[in-house]
Structure 1
Amino acid sequence: MRGEYESISTVERWNSLLFPLILSVVDYLAVVCGVGMAYGLRKYILPGALDSFHINSLYIVVVLPLVFLLFLHINFSYERNAPYWVIGKRVFIATLYSLIMAVFLMYFTHVAEDVSRLFVVLAWVLSYICIVSFRFVTESILSAYNWLYEPVLILGAGKTSEALIKVIEGDSGYRYKIIGFLEDTKEVAPSLAKYPILGGFKDAQQVIKKTGVKTVLISAPGLGPKALTNLINRVEPLVKSVSFVPDFMGAPVGNLQIQGLLEARMMVVQSKNNLARWYNRWAKRIFDLVVALLSLVIIIPVCIVIGAIIYKTDPGPIFFAHKRIGKNGKEFPCYKFRSMVVNSQEMLEKYLEENPEAREEWESDFKLKNDPRVTKIGAFLRRTSLDELPQIFNVIKGEMSFVGPRPIIQAEVEKYGEYFHDFCMVTPGITGLWQVSGRSDTTYEERVSMDSWYVHNWSVWMDVVYLIKTVKVVLKKEGAY
């Protein structure tokens, strides 16, 4: 073998039970806190407080938390190794079902003299916020002390594993402790050099027995079907779970359903196109309108201040409407705060003529990292993405969405090639997958493939996740220019 390995400790063997047990206790406290705050707000603080509204404390401290814990368990929200946004979605659905059940219980058992609809909504929202917040704090503490991670052996140490490890390390939903890799070739991805190579695929059974690891992840999509099946069959009897990365790179995997055909010893994989369903398109539109209208209260005052600064520092138009390609290939005016000098087009042509390297960069990405046309206030607006605030009016008009493919100009259509059809299926977005994956530091080809992937994998929850991630990226000022 090419590396040393350690046996799994006794504590690590019990991690699969300890982690959900701790989260259950945390969730109990979170629900009591959330429901308690909702009750206090509705009865004593909010306008129209109801003197007749009363719930027995036993119901708040025992019955409701047990209902929540039941649905949280049923909805698989205690899995240790799933993307954090997936767990967040499961918790969201579980809290919704829990409150529906709670309303029935309160009504039929006459626990509450007057079931307040506002209390129900508050209890749902505050319970969800408390559960997510309490879990985040708990998991941050566990991560800080490196507690309750699940030991995992990974078979394959190539580029696929490199991408896989990047996701695992960047998403707190994955609580894997990587004990090492098995790899048949000498070509190990550079970023994986910090982990031990414990042998080749032929050593899988021996390594599993020696280490006591109970979770195996096969990340070698280049293996043929027979070799992969043989490897799974050899490993599975020795562990609790085996996962594998199939050769589906780039395929629409966001909405997959897998059905096993036992008699034929095969599986059928179904991919759903959510945007092909009219009610999903309406859900996306309603989501955009609700978020946009709620945001106007904050955005309009900010826009007034920014507009005044732009006019004072560089007199001229405050807004800039650039022709972009939207849904069905139709052009629309994409609104932005003006971040360039007034004669920007003439300056660009002259600059590109005098700088061949800049022309090559422009023709490749339609962007310049050091754009001489950008004003001082414009540079700040771009770094913070505040120049895109006026696009909220494009969202209200239905020309754009909060999340979607980036709006492109006519000259970029040719570069999209076969992916242009995917682009035309939805309205372009203020933010999207490429913005939360490096923004301007990603290559043009990567942005195109990300836009296509988003269209084929869309869900409302994905839009929520990307909006949250966009805020994080903007605050860190990652890849913006």
Structure 2
Amino acid sequence: MKQAIPLLQRNTTYLLPLCLFIVDYLMVSLGIVGAFHTRKLWMFPEVSSTFHIRSIYMYLIAPALFLLMLFLTNCYQIAIPYWDRVRNVFKGITYSIILTVFLMYAANVAGDVSRLFILFSWIITFLTVLFGRYILERILIATGVLKIPVIIIGAGKTAQLLLRSFERHPIMRYEIVGFIDDKPICKDLTEQYSLLGGFCDIDEIIASSKIQHVIVCAPGLPAKDLITLINRLEILVKNVSFVPELIGMPAANVSVQGLMEENMLLVNVKNNLARPYYRVMKRIFDMVLTLCGMVVFLPIGIIIAAIIYITDPGPILFAHQRVGQHGKLFPCYKFRSMVVNAEEALKEYLKDNPEAQEEWNRDFKLKNDPRITKIGHFLRKTSLDELPQLLNVLKGEMSLVGPRPIVKAEIEKYGEYIQDFYLVPPGITGVWQVSGRSDTTYDERVQMDSWYVHNWSVWIDIVYLVKTVTAVLMRKGAY
């Protein structure tokens, strides 16, 4: 490689955290000042005049504590997925609030400590920090500056998966300079990016380009050769990452421990949902959110029920037998979106349409289902037909997030993955609903359900609830 990477790009790992640091300071200060005025002037003008916050607290002490906690919760690591960064920011802001509450009481920086001020500080600061970082990231993406130049060693299927991840999370800030491989398998990679050379050219390529980030995507290499390659790269560059031959292993709950004297790595894999403590935590999470959501969704449900009855007289709810936790059957509630004699209509339609029969046998769904009523089309597109499943959640038969509820005929399609499905209650929403929804293949849905069970955490549930709202608003893949 003849041309070296520009100095600005080579220093991205220092400049980008510095930019984030400056933006975080401004947003934290804005959040604290906003919380103060919200508490004192706007919503609650009757607050006692004794409530005040010293300027040095709002513009120096508190921001310093917030920035310290954001640093300690890894908020300035660049190459991590978006939702992991959001989680780290949430943890950092939460820990900062705990520390600042202690400071306000211990150091008496406030004339009168207000619990509402603390609450507003937590909410507003979290939102302002996320907003500030989002704007910075959009600017950086639009201008194309401060990207981390990286060379990938290996141009095979693993590298393809890695690039797919980078495309979903472009703000990971990697710019692919090129690939190094003796025999590249995926020609589309070398057509899109430069093939810089083979394994024997590594030293020369890195020296001429001054690249400091290398990712090894060659899990097919013998273990001895891979270790030799990594040891060799550690001398040449500052940062070396590699993809081990463990694709498919649960990734969300994995920790790595180095056994130094033995020169070994011990990989710990934890399935949270196999532990009663976490299942109780998930149940509490479901109940709290469902009861809060009922305040909003109950009036909407009453209106929908009235429209259904007026436009197509008959039962308002439809209860279909589905397979739940431990393989037990339960009535899965939905607003009726089909004609009253739906089963008879389906049999007649499939009898007269062989292509529809094939689609039904494959997916247990029809894109153009003649049984759906006019209001039913709207309910399905917006997923409002699933609102009554909140009753299933309250009864403990379903969860807000989980594997999709299936019918008995689908059990054999799950094969060895059915035990994963039986471990938890099915969910109103889940991974497949926000990953193309009905546009995904059946095998992909099964894999997604298994992935969720093995990688579950409360944070993953929060992420997929947020993603579900986005998918519903975009009406992506629903029918």
Give the TM-score, by structure 1 length.
0.95
Unaligned runs of 5+ residues in structure 1 are none
Residues 1:433 and 2:437 aligned together: no
CA pair 5-166 structure 1, distance change in 2 beyond 3 A: farther
Structure 1 counterpart of 2:448? 450
Partner of 1:52, secondary structure, is coil
Partner of 1:92, secondary structure, is helix
Whether the 8 Å CA contact 2:180–2:196 is kept in 1: the answer is yes
Residues 1:133 and 2:131 aligned together: yes
Structure 2 counterpart of 1:27? 24
Residues 1:52 and 2:50 aligned together: yes
What displacement does 1:172 show? 4.2
Partner of 2:101, secondary structure, is helix
Partner amino acid for 1:26? V
Q: How does 1:53-132 map to 2 (within 5 A)?
A: 53-132=51-130
CA pair 189-293 structure 1, distance change in 2 beyond 3 A: farther
Unaligned runs of 5+ residues in structure 2 are none
Structure 2 counterpart of 1:200? 198
Q: Name the CA distance, whole Å, in 2 between partners of 1:192 and 1:100.
A: 51
Q: Name the CA distance, whole Å, in 2 between partners of 1:469 and 1:203.
A: 44
Q: Name the CA distance, whole Å, in 2 between partners of 1:328 and 1:252.
A: 22
Q: Name the CA distance, whole Å, in 1 between partners of 2:370 and 2:206.
A: 59
Partner amino acid for 2:36? Y
Residue among 39, 42, 51 paired with 1:42: 39
Q: Which moved more, 1:215-224 or 1:303-312?
A: 303-312
Partner of 1:286, secondary structure, is helix
What displacement does 1:214 show? 0.8
Whether the 8 Å CA contact 2:87–2:459 is kept in 1: the answer is yes
CA pair 169-50 structure 1, distance change in 2 beyond 3 A: farther
What displacement does 1:173 show? 4.2
Partner of 1:38, secondary structure, is helix
Structure 1 counterpart of 2:10? 13
Whether the 8 Å CA contact 2:156–2:184 is kept in 1: the answer is no
Structure 2 counterpart of 1:275? 273
CA pair 242-186 structure 1, distance change in 2 beyond 3 A: closer
Partner of 2:75, secondary structure, is coil
CA pair 50-421 structure 1, distance change in 2 beyond 3 A: farther
Q: Name the CA distance, whole Å, in 1 between partners of 2:207 and 2:316.
A: 68
Residues 1:408 and 2:406 aligned together: yes
Partner amino acid for 2:120? L
What displacement does 1:118 show? 2.2
Q: Name the CA distance, whole Å, in 2 between partners of 1:202 and 1:342.
A: 71
CA pair 443-91 structure 1, distance change in 2 beyond 3 A: same
Residue among 320, 324, 327 paired with 1:322: 320
What displacement does 1:290 show? 2.2
Post-superposition CA distance 1:118-152 (Å, at most 9, x none):
22222112111111111111111111111111111
Residues 1:261 and 2:259 aligned together: yes
Q: Name the CA distance, whole Å, in 2 between partners of 1:126 and 1:316.
A: 47
Post-superposition CA distance 1:91-113 (Å, at most 9, x none):
11111111111112111111123
What displacement does 1:6 show? 4.2
Q: Name the CA distance, whole Å, in 2 between partners of 1:251 and 1:314.
A: 49
Partner of 2:192, secondary structure, is coil
Post-superposition CA distance 1:136-180 (Å, at most 9, x none):
111111111111111111112222222221111111441111111
Identity percentage of aligned residues? 54
Post-superposition CA distance 1:37-88 (Å, at most 9, x none):
2222222334563433221121011100000001111111011110011111
Structure 2 counterpart of 1:335? 333
Structure 1 counterpart of 2:291? 293
Structure 1 counterpart of 2:157? 159
Whether the 8 Å CA contact 2:24–2:133 is kept in 1: the answer is yes
Whether the 8 Å CA contact 1:205–1:234 is kept in 2: the answer is no
Give the TM-score, by structure 2 length.
0.95
Partner amino acid for 2:375? I
Residues 1:386 and 2:387 aligned together: no
Q: How does 1:449-468 map to 2 (within 5 A)?
A: 449-468=447-466
Partner amino acid for 1:217? I
Structure 2 counterpart of 1:398? 396
Whether the 8 Å CA contact 2:53–2:109 is kept in 1: the answer is yes
CA pair 222-355 structure 1, distance change in 2 beyond 3 A: farther
CA pair 46-424 structure 1, distance change in 2 beyond 3 A: same
Whether the 8 Å CA contact 1:5–1:180 is kept in 2: the answer is no
Partner amino acid for 1:23? L
What displacement does 1:239 show? 1.0
Whether the 8 Å CA contact 1:23–1:78 is kept in 2: the answer is yes
Q: Name the CA distance, whole Å, in 2 between partners of 1:191 and 1:387.
A: 43
Whether the 8 Å CA contact 2:322–2:329 is kept in 1: the answer is yes
Partner of 1:53, secondary structure, is coil
Partner of 1:72, secondary structure, is helix
What displacement does 1:187 show? 2.5
Q: Name the CA distance, whole Å, in 1 between partners of 2:2 and 2:118.
A: 53
Q: Name the CA distance, whole Å, in 2 between partners of 1:446 and 1:194.
A: 27
What displacement does 1:343 show? 1.2
Partner of 2:74, secondary structure, is coil
CA pair 321-183 structure 1, distance change in 2 beyond 3 A: same
Residues 1:171 and 2:169 aligned together: yes
Q: Name the CA distance, whole Å, in 2 between partners of 1:412 and 1:469.
A: 26
What is the RMSD computed on CA atoms of the aligned residues?
1.8
Whether the 8 Å CA contact 1:5–1:179 is kept in 2: the answer is no
CA pair 90-377 structure 1, distance change in 2 beyond 3 A: same
Q: Name the CA distance, whole Å, in 2 between partners of 1:193 and 1:377.
A: 49
